[in-house]
Amino acid sequence: MITSYNEPMHILFIADPLESFKIYKDTTFSMMREAQKRGHQVVACQMTDVRWQQGQAVSAQVRDITLTGQPDAWFTQTATRRANLKDFDAVIMRTDPPFDSEYFYATHLLSQAEREGAKVFNSPAALRNHPEKLAILEFPQFIAPTLVTRSEADIRAFHAEHGTIILKPLDGMGGTGIFKVGADGLNLGAIIETLNQGGAQTIMVQKFLPGIAQGDKRVLLIGGKPVPFCLARIPQGGEVRGNLAAGGKGVAQPISARDREIAETLGPILFARGLMLVGLDIIGDSLTEINVTSPTCFQEITDQMGCDVAALFWDAVEAAL
């Protein structure tokens, strides 16, 4: 069914349940809205709807939908059917973390769909190869002092060296499970026990960056190029976390010279690996995460700065087809 990019396309979104969307801020919704605006057919399913059976292509039970423009009932469903992923012009993988075993298995089903001819964004192999916390290890020139370990002794030594530190699980999202420990080490033992579960779980420890007071910046890469505006997610009410899901305030602003340096270094590398959309998290001058599963902040940047991020995304996808 592959068509040229200037003709109507059939787009499959693999996403979380549509009924759970908060459309005033949801990036997947903004992608769907722009796709429909361009005349494309929007189709949706969940990862649980995808299957493969010997002798058949990877398929899913999908929902043909039309966006209504109404906030309460934002879509109508025109049909449900089983369809092969290879028959869509593009498959947009937008299932939220955590990157658990089921997500990992899902990427293998999507890789099979790619072998059958499906065009999947982001590439499932690239999703597997870029865990969002650990992907920064490839770019040490841009990161703050960081430790990845299961060892309590290593964590205590890192704390003794760097003073105030941040500890976080490798599979969290939205700021879940993030702890700050001051130079006095208060509750460090209890936090280590909670996160690494007696040495059973690997965790990440980073030197605390005071720049968080000015926001945890989300810098978007689309088609390997930085969007000229980012969203600084500023902690509120004594919180150390700037994540919007943790109550942070989102303030859009132009990217800085340092943001651009990081983005322009990583952009071509990650795009060449099949990562159409990437969300870099930058605190001060330091890269802290590389988000590839379902990067967000389209609507906040568009609403505050007038930069149509969803249009930039579809321009890049259409150019890649």
Q: Is 291 a catalytic residue?
A: yes
Active-site residue (options: 168, 196, 217, 259): 168
In order of 15, 34, 85, 142, 193, the CA distances from 41 in angstroms are: 16, 11, 14, 41, 49
Of 72, 105, 129, the position where a domain reaches its end is: 129
Based on the domain organization, do 167 and 227 belong to the same domain?
no
**Residue at token pair 């105030």:** 164
Q: Is 25 a catalytic residue?
A: no
CATH number at residue 315: 3.30.470.20
CATH number at residue 161: 3.30.1490.20
Active-site residue (options: 63, 217, 218, 243): 218
Helix and strand totals (H; E) in the chain? 8, 17
41 token code pair: 């057919």
Q: At what angle do helices 27-37 and 298-305 cross, to 10 degrees?
A: 70
Q: Please check whether residue 228 is in contact with residue 247, taking contact to mean a CB–CB distance below 8 angstroms.
A: no
Based on the domain organization, do 42 and 153 belong to the same domain?
no
Number of folded domains that form the chain: 3
In a domain, 218, yes or no: yes
- Per-residue pLDDT reduced to its tens digit, 232-283: 999 886 677 666 666 789 999 999 999 999 999 999 999 999 999 999 999 9
Based on the domain organization, do 28 and 80 belong to the same domain?
yes
Q: Is 241 a catalytic residue?
A: yes
Check whether the bond before 131 is cis (ω within 30° of 0). Answer: no
In a domain, 2, yes or no: no
- Domain region containing 156: 145-208
- Per-residue pLDDT reduced to its tens digit, 300-319: 999 999 999 999 999 999 99
The C-alpha atoms of residue 176 and residue 133 are separated, in whole angstroms, by 13
- Per-residue pLDDT reduced to its tens digit, 124-139: 999 999 999 999 999 9
Active-site residue (options: 94, 241, 243, 300): 241
In a domain, 3, yes or no: no
CATH number at residue 48: 3.40.50.20
Residue type, 7: E
Q: At what angle do helices 188-196 and 152-162 cross, to 10 degrees?
A: 140
Q: Is 34 a catalytic residue?
A: no
- Per-residue pLDDT reduced to its tens digit, 204-224: 999 999 999 999 999 999 999
Give the model's pLDDT for residue 242: 60
Q: Is the pLDDT of residue 103 over 70?
A: yes
Give the model's pLDDT for residue 2: 43
Active-site residue (options: 89, 216, 259, 281): 281
Based on the domain organization, do 192 and 281 belong to the same domain?
no
In a domain, 17, yes or no: yes
Give the model's pLDDT for residue 99: 83
The C-alpha atoms of residue 152 and residue 140 are separated, in whole angstroms, by 23
